[in-house]
Amino acid sequence: MFTLYYAAGASSQAPHILLREAELSFTLEKVDLSTRSWSGGDYRAFNPKAYVPALKLGDGDVLTECAVILQFIADQVPAKQLLPPTNTRERYHALEWLNFIATELHKNFITPERHGGVAANFLSKTLQGQAQTRLHVSPRLDNVNRRLTGASYLGGEHFSAPDAYLFTMLTWARRLAMDLSQWPALQKFYERVGQRPSVQDTLRVEGPPHALLEQDQG
Ligand SMILES: N[C@@H](CCC(=O)N[C@@H](CS)C(=O)NCC(=O)O)C(=O)O
């Protein structure tokens, strides 16, 4: 049994989707990132990095870092091919995507602003910060759009772990008012993946993310 520590609409959405794709048994613990607390008290006492996702394993061990948690989940159920087998060229290309999404998309979505002096990984809540984010992220989305032109998923025709991560990044793009129709393959991917039962269940269970308003400096 696994426990996923998450916040609505945060990067933890990707492992949430993948746990459902994997049909693994898991429970959810919601973390309030503004107060860094959860039903068990101070979240930092549980995860000193203070961010989500974190995945608690059956033996009490805790895994962090989204791209690694996704690999762990996929490797629990090899038959579902949520990642290609190890030591294959396809596996390395899948890892290439996980790394690209983590370092080129995820990190570039995170604002350099520091909210109220608190160093935290959040999307920008100011119009200026959001404009800067769009500038950084757009050329990276061009690259993903190129890959998806003529392919249904990042690995080809089969949904796999990087697709869950990319989907979450595209929800962020939309929250930052980026019009996905400028990337036709990305737009189709977003609609295709958004129809998966795992994604619909995840979105329903998590509920809406915090709104990003200029005046909301939380
Ligand atoms: N390096 C981490 C970053 C995770 C991250 O940015 N989490 C954000 C939500 S998407 C968060 O929890 N921010 C709150 C904070 O930094 O205090 C990963 O790849 O998992």
User: Which helix or strand (DSSP H or E) is residue 95 part of?
Assistant: helix 89-100
Question: In whole angstroms, what is the distance from residue 44 CA to residue 48 CA?
Answer: 4
215 pLDDT band, cuts 50/70/90, is very low
**What was the pLDDT predicted at 116?**
55
Pick the atom of ligand 1 nearest to 11's CA.
10
Pick the atom of ligand 1 nearest to 107's CA.
6
Q: Is 51 in the pocket of ligand 1 (CB under 6 A)?
A: yes
114 pLDDT band, cuts 50/70/90, is low
Mean pLDDT (the chain, rounded): 93
**What was the pLDDT predicted at 174?**
96
DSSP classification of residue 103: I
Lowest mean pLDDT among 72-76, 116-120, 123-127: 116-120
Give the start-to-end residue ranges of the domains of the chain.
2-79, 83-196
9-26 in b/e form (b: 16+ CB < 10 A) is: bbbbbbbbbbbbbbeeeb
The per-residue pLDDT for range 132-173, each reduced to its tens digit, is 999 999 999 999 999 999 999 999 999 999 999 999 999 999
Residue whose tokens read 């604002």: 111
Question: In whole angstroms, what is the distance from residue 71 CA to residue 5 CA?
Answer: 17
Among left, alpha and beta (phi > 0; psi -120 to 50; other), residue 60 is left
The pLDDT of residue 199 is above 50: yes
DSSP classification of residue 104: I
The closest residue, in CA terms, to atom 1 on ligand 1 is 65
CATH 3.40.30.10 holds for 2-79:
yes
Lowest mean pLDDT among 2-11, 97-106, 109-118: 109-118
Cα of 30 to ligand 1 centre, how many Å?
14
Cα of 193 to ligand 1 centre, how many Å?
23
Instruction: Collapse the DSSP code of 141 into the 3-class scheme (helix H, G, I; strand E, B; otherwise coil) and give the result.
Output: helix
Name the more confident of 210 and 191.
191
120 pLDDT band, cuts 50/70/90, is confident
Q: Which pTM value belongs to this model?
A: 0.95
Cα of 105 to ligand 1 centre, how many Å?
13
Structural contact between residues 31 and 44, judged by C-beta atoms closer than 8 angstroms: no
Q: Is 198 in the pocket of ligand 1 (CB under 6 A)?
A: no
Mean pLDDT, range 187-208, rounded to an integer: 98
The per-residue pLDDT for range 31-46, each reduced to its tens digit, is 999 899 999 999 999 9
Cα of 150 to ligand 1 centre, how many Å?
32
**What was the pLDDT predicted at 38?**
96
> Residue 156: what are its φ and ψ, rounded to 5°?
125, -115
CB atoms within 10 A of CB 120: 15
28-50 in b/e form (b: 16+ CB < 10 A) is: bbbbebeebebeeeebeebbeeb
Pick the atom of ligand 1 nearest to 67's CA.
19
Pick the atom of ligand 1 nearest to 64's CA.
20
The closest residue, in CA terms, to atom 2 on ligand 1 is 65
Name the more confident of 216 and 52.
52
211 pLDDT band, cuts 50/70/90, is low
Q: Which CATH number, 3.20.20.370, 1.20.1050.10, 1.10.10.10, 3.60.40.10, labels domain 83-196? A: 1.20.1050.10
216 pLDDT band, cuts 50/70/90, is very low
